[in-house]
Structure 1
């Protein structure tokens, strides 16, 4: 089992789509715990993120990793669905304007769905107006803004300022997430919380949602 887990992590890190999905199907067929698989995905995406920061991977590589991850999550959702519970509320997730990173967002979404939340995912590179319309349409308990690039912090601030200007800030809790997020970024953007790790992000979102 350890060999399979290592091979799965390595395949995702190396962006080997065929091997990664084949191994995932094997693990699902063996009825392996979905949360264990998600832990391996988190481990792999941490390595992908580090390679990006070191200049070994580029935005195109992040997009490829995100594509593989989207397929993996689609395969895992039915497994979680077997134990699906009543909705704990709606969470709006999206990557802010100027950033196409969606790996962390997808992991957080999958974990939250497993916890029983309804997820509204507006995608990547989304301007403030799209966040505002989604808040108006879906009335989420929490808005989770994602971004990997340093520039994303300013885009998060711009989006939160626009939400305030639209008179919606008091209706939602906002968390920012990504490798550049910290307490200073939270204060600068006006968010309620921050996370630089998917597992921590999920825990904080649950707290913000009162779940």
Structure 2
């Protein structure tokens, strides 16, 4: 019989096929779907996050692990009512208007999901208005914005200003990231935090909801 440690290990190794087989075996053996997610899939991803932070794992490996974890979660999701899915809160994430880069954003999305957040990934080239609509619709606790171009950085401030105008600014935390972003810039535009990488982003979001 497959066990949770083996499943976690397959996530760490980024073996998607193996993850699917083990998830199916656990489901067939009557294991709790929530336990499969928390003790198997997410437990594995937490180790990946820690290894990434220490520099023992690199982006391609983390993406492979995250993809394997997501495949497992997709299999188990239909067995769980939405209200039972454990969640630390909802994060709305997107690359800001004019920015078409998504590798970093995708990595943060997967790591946040692995960390226990519900993530609404809006995609790339997202206007301030779209961020606001998503925050209202999903009752998000955190807005995460990514920019890889210096030319798109001002769009982050526009979104923060619009959150304030809509009376939402004190209800959500704003985290920003991307190659040209700095702590100073985050402070200048009134963001709550800055993450140089995906592991820091997850830690920061967890601190905020703790």
TM-score (norm 2): 0.66
C-alpha displacement of 1:75 = 3.8
1:125-164: CA deviation from partner (whole Å, max 9, x where unpaired): 0010100111111111111111111123211111111211
Conserved? CA contact 2:146–2:178, under 8 Å? yes
Whole-Å Cα distance in 1 between the matches of residues 48 and 86 of structure 2? 23
Paired residue total: 165
Q: CA RMSD in A?
A: 3.2
Question: Aligned ranges for residues 33-182 of structure 1 at < 5 Å?
Answer: 33-34=44-45, 43-44=58-59, 73-79=66-72, 86-182=86-182
1:138-197: CA deviation from partner (whole Å, max 9, x where unpaired): 111111111111123211111111211222111111011111221211122210100111
Conserved? CA contact 1:92–1:135, under 8 Å? yes
The verdict on how the C-alpha distance between 1:132 and 1:85 changes in structure 2, with shifts beyond 3 A counting, is: closer
Residue 189 (structure 1) aligns with = 189
Whole-Å Cα distance in 2 between the matches of residues 145 and 90 of structure 1? 14
Conserved? CA contact 1:180–1:196, under 8 Å? no
The verdict on how the C-alpha distance between 1:172 and 1:191 changes in structure 2, with shifts beyond 3 A counting, is: same
Structure 2 unaligned runs (5+)? Answer: 1-13, 23-40, 78-83
Whole-Å Cα distance in 2 between the matches of residues 34 and 206 of structure 1? 15
